[in-house]
Amino acid sequence: MRALIRFGKQPRLRFISHLDLQRFFQRAVNRTGLPIAWSQGFNPHPVMSFGSALALGWTSEYEVIDIKLAAPMGRGRVEAAVRAALPEDLPVLEVRMIDDKHPAPMALVRMSDYRITLNGGDAVLSQVDAFLNRDSVMAVRKTKSGEREVDIRPLCVELRKTDDGLFCRLMLTEKDTLKPDLLLRALSDMAGVEPPEARIHRLALLGMDADGAVKPLMAL
């Protein structure tokens, strides 16, 4: 049996790296007192996996961790135990019990929704329609292996202006990924300005059901 837990990352903790967060959860699951399943092998560790890494400096209300239990447990007890083991800046938002055959969250993620709050973003916002009207927008993505030019337009599923910035739905798969900071850079380049000060917040991780309908990860 596994527990699928959605939690938030509040502003105060947005500078914890993904690696540090993983280490943090190793100890946090010990604190829950739940019957956690441990891996076999030379260096046993609690069996758990994350939905998708969040970049340093971003906040979220849709981080997902999948923890394997060695014995069946009720949802309510799991939720209470995990809540008590996490600091208030990593709030537990939703818990679902799944069976062992359920795919790993990482394998289900297709897209992610973000809220981008801008400070002095008028020039960027003025480019939204132009961006949407184009078939192709080339941008330079920096990766570990160097810089690569990619067409980001098809990777942006949805983009619209909000009261204080942007809402966007971006592809997030192993093959096709667009991060909101790169989108912001592309819009800034189109406007001929430096990227404005921005706060990036993940609203949801999304996957697709058997009929191809887009749904939040926790609902799949």
Partner 1 sequence: MSLSDRIEALFMSVQKPVRYMGGEYNAVMKRPEDVDVRYAFLFPDTYEVGMSHLGMKILYHAINARDDAWCERVFSPWVDMADLMRRNDIPLFTLESRTPVKEYDLLGVTLQYEMSFTNILEALDLAGIPLRREDRTDGPFVICGGPCAFNPEPLEPFVDLFALGDGEVETLQTIDVYKKWKASGLPREAYLRMCADIPGIYVPSLYDVSYNADGTVRAVTPKPGSGAPEVVYKAMLPDLNEVTYPDKLIVPYGEIVHNRIMLEIFRGCTRGCRFCQAGMIYRPVRERRMDKLMDMAEKLVSSTGYDEVSLMSLSSGDYSCLPELARAMVEKFAAKRVRIALPSQRIDNVLTDTLKETQKVKKTALTLAPEAGTQRLRDVINKGVTEEDLMRSVTDAFDQGWSAVKLYFMLGLPTETDEDVLGIADLAEKVRKCYFSIPKDRRAPGLRITVSASVFVPKNDTPFQWAPQLDQETVIRRQQLLKQALSKVKGVDFKYHAPDLSYIEAVFARGDRRLGEALEKAWRMGCRFDGWSDRFRYDTWLEAFRACGIDPDFYATRARSEDEVFPWDHLDCGVTKQYLLSEWHKAQRAECTRDCRKGCTGCGMKRYEGACV
Binding site for partner 1 (CB under 8 A): 11-13, 15-17, 20-21, 23-24, 26-31, 33, 38, 44, 56-57, 85-87, 89
- Nearest to partner 1 of 12, 148 (CB atom): 12
- Nearest to partner 1 of 198, 204 (CB atom): 198
- Nearest to partner 1 of 27, 134 (CB atom): 27
Q: Which amino acid is at 75?
A: R
Q: How far is the CB of 58 from partner 1 (least distance, A)?
A: 11
Q: How far is the CB of 56 from partner 1 (least distance, A)?
A: 8
Burial annotation 193-210 (CB, 10 A radius, 16+ → b, else e) = eebbebbbbbbbbbbeee
Q: How far is the CB of 124 from partner 1 (least distance, A)?
A: 19
How far is the CA of 192 from the CAs of 70, 99, 137, 198, in angstroms?
56, 51, 14, 17
Q: How far is the CB of 52 from partner 1 (least distance, A)?
A: 19
Interacting residues of 83 by C-beta distance below 8 A, sequence separation 6+: 91, 92
- Nearest to partner 1 of 55, 132 (CB atom): 55
Neighbours of 70 (CB within 10 A): 12
Q: How far is the CB of 142 from partner 1 (least distance, A)?
A: 16
Neighbours of 184 (CB within 10 A): 22
Interacting residues of 63 by C-beta distance below 8 A, sequence separation 6+: 6, 7, 8, 9, 50, 51, 54, 202
- Nearest to partner 1 of 33, 154 (CB atom): 33
Interacting residues of 55 by C-beta distance below 8 A, sequence separation 6+: 179, 181, 200
